[in-house]
Amino acid sequence: MTVDPGASAERTRLAWRRTGLSAAAVALLAVRPAFSPAAGPGTYLMAAGALAGWAALVALAYRRARGLALDPPRPGERTITAYAGITVAFAILATVLVTL
């Protein structure tokens, strides 16, 4: 048993969780135009992409929580790069949505 009075694994797990909650706000804003009466197929496609991206972010956070539950916790590797990649994809998707 490693002594970790700073609870760093738990704090990291919670940091993943609140990042997922921030991503939920972005995903909901990206889905909102799909409910407008003027919505076209492009808007529906972007909404579906945003929800799929959000699901992927939450899945990555759950996968990461398993590595953090080990003793000693495993540091993040490719999960971190994938998470940043999906965030960049969100930025591109939102830019397309605004210019539609």
Query: Is residue 27 within 8 Å of 53, Cβ to Cβ?
Result: yes
Minimum distance from residue 18 beta carbon to another protein (Å): 7
Site for another protein in 50-89 (CB under 8 A): 68, 72-78, 80-81, 83-85, 87-88
Cβ neighbourhood burial of 97 (10 Å; 0-12, 13-18, 19+): buried
> Looking at beta carbons, which pairs linking 2-6 to residues 24 or more positions away fall under 8 Å?
2/71, 2/72
Give residues in contact with another protein (CB under 8 A).
4, 6, 8-9, 11-12, 15-16, 18-19, 22-23, 25-26, 29-30, 32-33, 68, 72-78, 80-81, 83-85, 87-88, 90-92, 94-95, 97-99
